Structure 1
Amino acid sequence: MHHIIRACASLVALGLSTSVFAQWSTTIEDDIFSGGKKGMMLADIGARQAIAFDCDADNLTVSFITEGKWPADGRSTGWDLLIKVDQGKIHKFLAVSGQRNSDHLQYLASDKAEILAVVKEIKDAKSQILLGLQSKEYDSKWSGTVDTAGSTREANRFLTACKL
């Protein structure tokens, strides 16, 4: 419970809404396990948050990432991750909270078909990508806007490398 309170406090401390020019980037590497490629497409949503799409031969995931440490006794909980590209439909994912790396928490979703639909919408995005993260259990909400500059080029690289 302490990790959720800290994560919620972090989200609240960062503000209920964030809007910043996003820097889209894609990293492609060889995947030793499949002989193919693995990739990550990332967009910064400010100094402390990002949205990341990860793929390998078997998986496609999306994560909202924020600075933080996961307590050793913490339990993962379910969150709603919402993504809307331009004036399109709102894609709603069940995301599971956890530690991404030594400095960041993540809210990870793995609905491959729906994530692929979002990546294709990002490839064709014209104005903005809206993000939301909410927990009814903890009465917590966060929203942010990601600029689309560079998203077409990076989504094309990601889709090609991931063979999607």
Structure 2
Amino acid sequence: MKNRKWSYSLLTALLSLVSHAAFAGWSTHVEDDVFTGGQKAMLVDVKSELNGVVFDCSKDHLKVSYIESGDTTDITDGIQAELVFKVDQSKPVKFDALTTTRNNNFFGVKSAENDDSLKLLLSELKAASHHILVGVHYLQSDQKYSYTFDTIGSAKAVNKFVKACEIDLSGISPQKS
């Protein structure tokens, strides 16, 4: 729990202390994981200090989240949603997801863990050259939101991320639409 809080604190610090101009590009933070004996990593791209995309991994789990800064006191965890990513001209990659409170400052929608589609999305992100569209569909209210993220630094950041968590992307190719 302490390491999770530390990671959330790092994310909060990254999002709140850096100027908007510096929010250009994907980055990966890696640290040792006492529970698995391996490493854990967080792959992050932030559109602004208000929202971002976060991949979390360790040797035994992998998930992706769309997050937003805001008042988390009114957030209900566990509401069903759909998280959709479209990288460049690839086919959309869809995930069953749930609303979540990430920490005191951020809420979001997180995917189910260890879905093979997560590896496909990482492969597409590694090869990305133009933009990434992220869609959030709240099933209960049928509200849909779409966001565009840059691909700056995505290949290098994905390589560092998959190496840290021993994720094998060999044989997985982006699926063009």
Q: 1:126 matched to which residue of 2?
A: 129
Q: 1:57 matched to which residue of 2?
A: 59
Q: Does 1:114 align with 2:117?
A: yes
In structure 2, the gaps of 5 or more residues are: 1-22, 168-177
- Aligned-partner SS, 2:163: helix
Tell me if the contact between 1:97 and 1:108 (Cα under 8 Å) persists in the aligned partners: yes
Amino acid in structure 2 at the alignment position of 1:58: D
Kindly, what percent of the aligned residue pairs are identical?
35
Tell me if the contact between 2:79 and 2:140 (Cα under 8 Å) persists in the aligned partners: no
Q: CA deviation at 1:73?
A: 8.4
Q: Deviations along 1:55-93, whole A, 9 cap, x unmatched?
A: 011100000000123337835201111001110010111
Q: Which range moved further: 30-39 or 105-114?
A: 105-114
In structure 1, the gaps of 5 or more residues are: 1-20
Name which of 29, 43, 67 aligns with 2:69: 67
Summarize the Cα distance change of 1:119–1:77 in structure 2 as closer, same or farther, 3 Å threshold: same
Q: Does 1:97 align with 2:103?
A: no
- Aligned-partner SS, 2:48: coil
Q: State TM-score, norm by structure 1.
A: 0.82
Which structure exhibits the higher relative contact order, with contacts defined as CA atoms closer than 8 Å and separated by 6 or more residues? 1
For residues 139 and 37 of structure 2, what CA distance do their matches in structure 1 show? 42
Q: State TM-score, norm by structure 2.
A: 0.76
Q: 1:163 matched to which residue of 2?
A: 166
Root-mean-square deviation over aligned CA pairs: 1.6
Tell me if the contact between 1:41 and 1:52 (Cα under 8 Å) persists in the aligned partners: yes
Name which of 80, 96, 112 aligns with 1:78: 80
For residues 87 and 76 of structure 2, what CA distance do their matches in structure 1 show? 33
Structure 1 runs (4+) deviating above 3 angstroms are 69-75
Summarize the Cα distance change of 1:126–1:111 in structure 2 as closer, same or farther, 3 Å threshold: same
Summarize the Cα distance change of 1:31–1:149 in structure 2 as closer, same or farther, 3 Å threshold: same
Q: Which range moved further: 70-79 or 39-48?
A: 70-79
Report how many aligned residue pairs link the two structures.
Answer: 144
Name which of 139, 142, 165 aligns with 1:139: 142
For residues 134 and 89 of structure 1, what CA distance do their matches in structure 2 show? 17
Higher strand share: 1
Q: Does 1:30 align with 2:32?
A: yes
